Amino acid sequence: MEFSGKVIAILPTRTGVSKATGNEWKVQSYVVENHDQFPRRMCFEVFGADKIDQFNIQMGEELNVSFDIDARQWQDKWFNSIRAWKVERVQDAAAEGQQPVDVNVPPFVAEPPAFQGGENNAADDLPF
């Protein structure tokens, strides 16, 4: 799954030690808001110090986040986790609101073509 938007919050880093292996772990959470008419927000996490350093997410950046959703149970309650596995920065032109130019689209025509029909036109079979 993917979500695109601007980083609006960087939450405090959480660390701990795995009970099973005794290894240290590190998780960083981020909030991204999209640009829809009614903006939606998503809080996702990046697990592992290496991934946190690799992604190097900064406040205000425009990102495309690829993620997985998983649920886990704790004390008879269920919790969802949204974990990013790939983070890409949006191109600078798109971040500035510029639309890419498509060279295959004909240029805008200022005037529409003249109407060639009439009431007696046999090719015009529209009922109105």
Query: What is d(CA 126, CA 36) in angstroms, rounded to the nearest whole number?
Result: 38
Q: Report how far Cα 40 is from the mean position of its chain's Cα atoms.
A: 10
DSSP code, position 60: T
Please, what are the domains in the chain? 2-93 (2.40.50.140)
Note the pLDDT tens digit of each residue in 95-107: 455 555 444 445 5
Q: Identify the burial level of 68 via C-beta atoms within 10 angstroms of its C-beta, where 0-12 means exposed, 13-18 middle and 19 or more buried.
A: exposed
Whether 29 contacts 81, CB under 8 Å: no
Residue 94 has pLDDT above 60, yes or no: no
Note the pLDDT tens digit of each residue in 15-66: 999 888 989 999 999 999 999 999 999 999 999 999 999 999 999 999 999 9
pLDDT band at 12 (very low <50, low <70, confident <90, very high): very high
Q: What is the pLDDT of residue 70?
A: 95
Query: What is d(CA 56, CA 26) in angstroms, rounded to the nearest whole number?
Result: 14
Regarding pTM above 0.75, the answer is no
